[in-house]
Amino acid sequence: MDAERLELIPLLLAIQDEFGYVSEFAMQFIANELRIPASEIYGVVTFFHFINKKPKGKFIIRLSRDMSSIMKGAKSVARQLRNDLGIRFGETTPDGMFTLEWTSCIGMNYQAPAMMVNNEVFSNLTPPMVHRIIEDCRQELYAHRPTVGNVGETHASMMSYSSHELNSGLIRAIREMTPAEVIGELTVSGLKGRGGAGFPTGVKWNLAAKAEGDVKYIICNADEGEPGTFKDRIILGKYADLVFEGMTLAGYAVGATEGIVYLRYEYTHVRPHLEAALAARRQANLLGRNILGKEGFSFDIRIHMGAGAYVCGEETALIESLEGRRGQPRNRPPYPVEKGLHGRPTVVNNVETLATASCIVARGAKWFTSIGTERSKGFKLFSVSGDCARPGVYELPWGMTVQQLLELVDGAGAKAVQVGGYTGELVPAGEFGRVMGYEDLGIGGSIIVYGQGRDMLEVAENYLEFFVEESCGQCTGCRIGNAKLLDGVHRLQKGTCSNRYLNDLIGLSHSIKTTSKCGLGQASPDIFIAINEHFKEEIMARPVLAA
Ligand code: SF4
């Protein structure tokens, strides 16, 4: 692995901070300095949404266009922005002050609509608020409104985390347990990865521990890009120490000395808080050499910023990005636990998984297995947004039905619920008796409630626009097929989709699923299939051409 390359993305972001964008001259200069072909630099620059390829305004306004934002008024906010700035989305004002863009979900769904102005986040927007923010920017008064840990009036129950005695898991492990015993505790607990894939955490740690290699890595996947998910941001804001404790435990268990938090660019505002927490841990000898006096156990953590690409939430794409490449998923095997970052054994765990691992080591597997169901142990955090009166983060035991969850969040009477984000499953009202757990709906944690009257074609259009935008382009089915499905939705909206063409598109949906390399393409057609299966009458209500 060429060392220069590792610095590529941080270098590109630093150039952008200085000059506002990465010019072709800068790319050529970097290519010469790092001895990397200019075409590859260009490939990286053009891959990430948050690396500017051309000059932009002093204030870059990015309005989130996830479904929760759309449902809560993002379109009227967009109108206000267009009117105030006199430009369309994708344009910059002639005086160079403002650039206006749509962006994918920024993790503020329960306070939607929301937007970023440069790296600051503004939420619960209304048109008058937007007008004031623009005026403040014009007068350069724009006040910092940090949102870290700010859950406002929103419900946020995280009982297991708030009652955790800080570092008690790490202290127990170092003083009383061997690395193998830590892995054993995790394995017996039945904890599965909370990012969505659900791979058993103890098994993952064990594979990495047994893998050959004197250098190993622990990566915390904080690239929380699944639309509708915001729990990881709140964990990082309120319980960062729990996550760092979990990473250190993983380091102890598998024999790693370096941890990396891969933080999505949209969460730049959380970084100062995380850096301060890391500094305090170093001060307290919870990171560094001979941690808590344990001879020979050294571990430290650094933060690496993502640059805006949903697919980097996939662990091999994340590793590619960390190595200074386009964030495109790799073929597996080999899996990261054998050959990950720089070809070394690497554990990639989600934020929630690591925080939960700390609680388990502190309290024991028995505590965890006493919660949940036979096949789904413990609790899970759910990010709830959309048409409900009590959006927010909920810590719940596995095994609840969708209906029970809806009652809790005051969303009863819903038409459908998207469980697991856009790559999850659309559950119609007739199936609200289904169980949230690996035996049925084993989900990543995003719940979007759709009330009666929501247009399911608009929902499908929104999802497919997202997938078209975020496809990395490696697989033909995903790259071209999703665009075809989006076109099919547009035809359905206009009433110009024949039955035959609709059937062709359903066939195409299944092909995309089977020919795609990663979870994005494997799940992206599900919304098209679901609206045809559950809402056929509604989507065919518009005049449709005969076959
Ligand atoms: Fe890229 Fe889509 Fe293929 Fe995933 S399925 S590797 S996002 S083209």
DSSP for 148-201, please give it.
TT--TTSEEE-HHHHTS-TTHHHHHHHHH--HHHHHHHHHHHT-B-TTTT--BH
Please check whether residue 61 is in contact with residue 98, taking contact to mean a CB–CB distance below 8 angstroms.
Answer: yes
Q: Does ligand 1 have an atom closer than 6 angstroms to the CB of 471?
A: yes
Instruction: Please give the structure tokens belonging to residue 520.
Output: 């994005």
**Contact partners, residue 427, CB within 8 Å, separation at least 6:** 402, 416, 417, 418, 419, 434, 441
**Ligand 1 center to 474 CA (angstroms):** 6
**Ligand 1 center to 504 CA (angstroms):** 21
- Which tens digit of pLDDT belongs to each residue from 132-185? 999 999 987 765 554 433 334 456 678 899 899 999 999 999 999 999 999 999
Position of tokens 């665009």? 483
Please report, to the nearest 10 degrees, the dihedral formed by the alpha carbons of residues 31, 35, 36, 42 taken in order.
0
Cα angle for residues 514, 190, 199 (degrees, 5° grid): 25
Sheet of 120-122, strands arranged across: 98-103, 59-64, 115-117, 120-122
Closest ligand 1 atom to residue 522 Cα is 5
Neighbours of 467 (CB within 10 A): 24
**Ligand 1 center to 272 CA (angstroms):** 33
- The pLDDT tens digits along the chain (547 residues) read 566 677 899 999 999 999 999 999 999 999 998 888 999 999 999 999 999 999 999 999 999 999 999 999 999 999 999 999 999 999 999 999 999 999 999 999 989 999 999 999 999 999 999 999 999 999 877 655 544 333 344 566 788 998 999 999 999 999 999 999 999 999 999 999 998 788 999 999 999 999 999 999 999 999 999 999 999 999 999 999 999 999 999 999 999 999 999 999 999 999 999 999 999 999 999 999 999 999 999 999 999 999 999 999 999 999 999 999 999 999 999 999 999 999 999 999 999 999 999 999 999 999 999 999 998 999 999 999 999 999 999 999 999 999 999 999 999 899 999 999 999 999 999 999 999 999 999 777 899 999 999 999 999 999 999 999 999 999 999 999 999 999 999 999 999 998 999 999 999 999 999 999 999 999 999 999 999 999 998 998 775 544 4
**Contact partners, residue 113, CB within 8 Å, separation at least 6:** 63, 64, 69, 70, 72, 73, 74, 77, 123, 124, 125
Q: In whole angstroms, give the CA distance from residue 505 to residue 488.
A: 7
Q: Does ligand 1 have an atom closer than 6 angstroms to the CB of 479?
A: yes
Q: What is the C-alpha R_g of the chain?
A: 23
Closest ligand 1 atom to residue 474 Cα is 8
Q: Does ligand 1 have an atom closer than 6 angstroms to the CB of 317?
A: no
Mutate to test the pocket of ligand 1, among 469, 475, 522 (most ligand atoms within 8 A of CB): 475
Q: Does ligand 1 have an atom closer than 6 angstroms to the CB of 520?
A: yes
**Ligand 1 center to 86 CA (angstroms):** 37
Q: Does ligand 1 have an atom closer than 6 angstroms to the CB of 518?
A: yes
Handedness of CA 237, 238, 243, 248 (dihedral sign): positive
Instruction: Please give the structure tokens belonging to residue 526.
Output: 């599900």
DSSP run (H or E) holding 268 = none
Amino acid at residue number 540: M
Mutate to test the pocket of ligand 1, among 520, 522, 524, 526 (most ligand atoms within 8 A of CB): 520
Across-strand partners of 266?
A: none
Q: In whole angstroms, give the CA distance from residue 134 to residue 131.
A: 5
Q: Does ligand 1 have an atom closer than 6 angstroms to the CB of 326?
A: no
Q: Does ligand 1 have an atom closer than 6 angstroms to the CB of 477?
A: no
Q: Does ligand 1 have an atom closer than 6 angstroms to the CB of 248?
A: no
What's this model's pTM, rounded to 2 decimal places?
A: 0.95
Closest ligand 1 atom to residue 472 Cα is 1
The candidate with the shortest Cα–Cα distance to 231, out of 445, 423, 447, is 445
CA 392 → CA 161, 384, 410, distances in Å? Answer: 16, 5, 11
CA 25 → CA 11, 18, 20, 22, 41, distances in Å? Answer: 14, 14, 14, 8, 12
- Residue 17 CA from chain centroid, whole number: 24
- 180: number of CA atoms within 13 Å, CB side? 1
Axis-axis angle for helices 179-189, 351-363 (nearest 10): 100
**Ligand 1 center to 51 CA (angstroms):** 21
ipTM of the complex: 0.99
Q: Where are the beta strands (DSSP E) in 223-362?
A: 258-263, 300-305, 346-350
CA 141 → CA 145, 163, 373, 523, distances in Å? Answer: 12, 40, 53, 44
Q: Does ligand 1 have an atom closer than 6 angstroms to the CB of 481?
A: no
Neighbours of 545 (CB within 10 A): 13
The candidate with the shortest Cα–Cα distance to 159, out of 239, 39, 85, 243, is 239
Q: In whole angstroms, give the CA distance from residue 121 to residue 144.
A: 9
Closest ligand 1 atom to residue 470 Cα is 7
Burial (0-12, 13-18, 19+ Cβ within 10 Å), 384: buried
Going by the DSSP 8-state scheme, the letter that residue 207 receives in this structure is: H
**Ligand 1 center to 444 CA (angstroms):** 19
The candidate with the shortest Cα–Cα distance to 310, out of 478, 425, 178, 437, is 478
Q: Does ligand 1 have an atom closer than 6 angstroms to the CB of 512?
A: no
DSSP run (H or E) holding 145 = none
Across-strand partners of 100?
A: 61
**Ligand 1 center to 250 CA (angstroms):** 29
Phi, psi at 496, each rounded to 5°: -115, 25
Burial (0-12, 13-18, 19+ Cβ within 10 Å), 507: exposed
